């Protein structure tokens, strides 16, 4: 009998402990829910409600509800959308019977076509060449990777001073360099680079100009070719003394 009562007491104690544990968990859960909603604005009176960090209105009663303004805005937006749809339908209906809309559409199409054609303007090498010649009476048509072009540019830079200075056009960096080079060949009779152009005439390439320089004749030729459009002088190198 004693053993039996002991077992019964153990069962009662076990059940009681479980119930207490459940109550503890329920209380902890309630606390976490209450403090989990961070309140940004604390109400100053009983009629005002605070806002959680999520923007949900929290009243003093502890109930959560969606802001009434949100519902109102949705209703107003729906009404506006319906009004706009009705307006568009009316405009479409009126437009179908209006002869002016067709003419306006045709004008717009013509304008679009004109814009499209303008975007497809072909490259004009003659215009480009004339524009380049207008920059200086002395032009060097070159390619940045060409060793002969480099030699000619270095020779003129280190040995001669032009006023106004000559202009270098790197054909490999020009958007239409190949087409421009073909046109230059037709105009000057020289299709390779470098091509020294003075007053619209080709005066040769790297080897031609170097030969005149080595013979001491280049300065006199540059002055003669200028026809008064520029001045040129030899750069005097400092003496070693």
Q: Is 81 contained in some domain?
A: no
pTM of the complete model = 0.51
Q: Which of the four pLDDT bands, split at 50, 70 and 90, describes residue 232? A: very high
The order of strands in the sheet holding 138-142 is 167-170, 138-142, 195-198, 201-202
Dig out the tokens for 179 from the structure.
């087409």
- 233 pLDDT exceeds 90? yes
Q: Is 168 contained in some domain?
A: yes
Task: For the chain, state the CA radius of gyration.
Answer: 46
> Mean pLDDT, to the nearest integer, of 213-235?
98
Average confidence score pLDDT of the chain: 74
How many domains, in total, are found in the chain?
Answer: 1
Give CA–CA dist 230/198, Å, rounded: 10
Q: CA neighbours within 13 Å on the CB side: how many for 183?
A: 16
The neighbouring-strand residues paired with 50 are 58
What digits encode the pLDDT tens for the residues 2-35?
445 567 777 777 777 777 877 777 666 555 444 4
Q: Is 141 contained in some domain?
A: yes
Q: Is 116 contained in some domain?
A: no
Q: Is 29 contained in some domain?
A: no
Element (H, E) at 65: strand 64-65
What digits encode the pLDDT tens for the residues 117-150?
545 689 999 999 999 999 999 999 999 999 999 9
The neighbouring-strand residues paired with 169 are 141
For 67-194, strand residue ranges (E) read 138-142, 160-163, 167-170
Q: Is 137 contained in some domain?
A: yes
> Mean pLDDT, to the nearest integer, of 216-234?
98
Residue 11's pLDDT is what? 75
What digits encode the pLDDT tens for the residues 57-86?
333 434 444 444 545 555 665 666 566 666
Q: Is 83 contained in some domain?
A: no
Give CA–CA dist 166/151, Å, rounded: 15
Q: Is 84 contained in some domain?
A: no
Query: Residue 141: which CATH number?
Result: 3.40.30.10
Q: Which of the four pLDDT bands, split at 50, 70 and 90, describes residue 228? A: very high
Query: Which residues span the domain enclosing 149?
Result: 126-234
Would you say 169 and 141 are in contact if contact means Cβ atoms under 8 Å apart? yes
Q: Which tops the pLDDT comparison, 156 or 9? A: 156
Lowest mean pLDDT among 13-22, 102-111, 146-155: 102-111
Percent of the chain with pLDDT over 70: 56
């Amino acid at each position: 009998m004693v053993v039996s009562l002991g077992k019964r007491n153990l069962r009662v104690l076990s059940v009681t402990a479980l119930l207490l544990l459940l109550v503890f968990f329920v209380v902890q859960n309630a606390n976490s829910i209450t403090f989990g909603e961070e309140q940004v604005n604390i109400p100053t009176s009983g009629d005002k409600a605070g806002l959680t960090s999520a923007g949900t209105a929290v009243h003093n009663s502890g109930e959560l509800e969606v802001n009434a303004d949100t519902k109102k805005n949705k209703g107003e937006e729906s009404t506006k959308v319906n009004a706009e749809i009705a307006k568009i339908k009316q405009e479409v209906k009126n437009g179908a019977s209006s002869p002016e809309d067709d003419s306006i559409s045709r004008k717009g199409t013509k304008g679009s076509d004109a814009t499209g054609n303008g975007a497809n303007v072909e490259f004009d090498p003659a215009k480009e060449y004339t524009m380049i010649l207008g920059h200086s009476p002395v032009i060097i048509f070159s390619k940045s990777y060409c060793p002969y072009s480099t030699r000619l540019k270095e020779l003129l830079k280190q040995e001669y001073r032009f006023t106004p200075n000559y202009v270098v056009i790197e054909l490999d960096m020009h958007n239409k360099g190949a087409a421009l080079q073909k046109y230059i060949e037709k105009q000057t009779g020289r299709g390779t680079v470098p091509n020294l152009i003075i007053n619209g005439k080709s005066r040769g390439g790297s080897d031609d100009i170097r030969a005149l320089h080595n013979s001491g004749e280049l300065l006199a030729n540059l002055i003669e070719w200028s026809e008064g459009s520029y001045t040129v002088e030899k750069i005097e190198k400092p003496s070693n003394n």
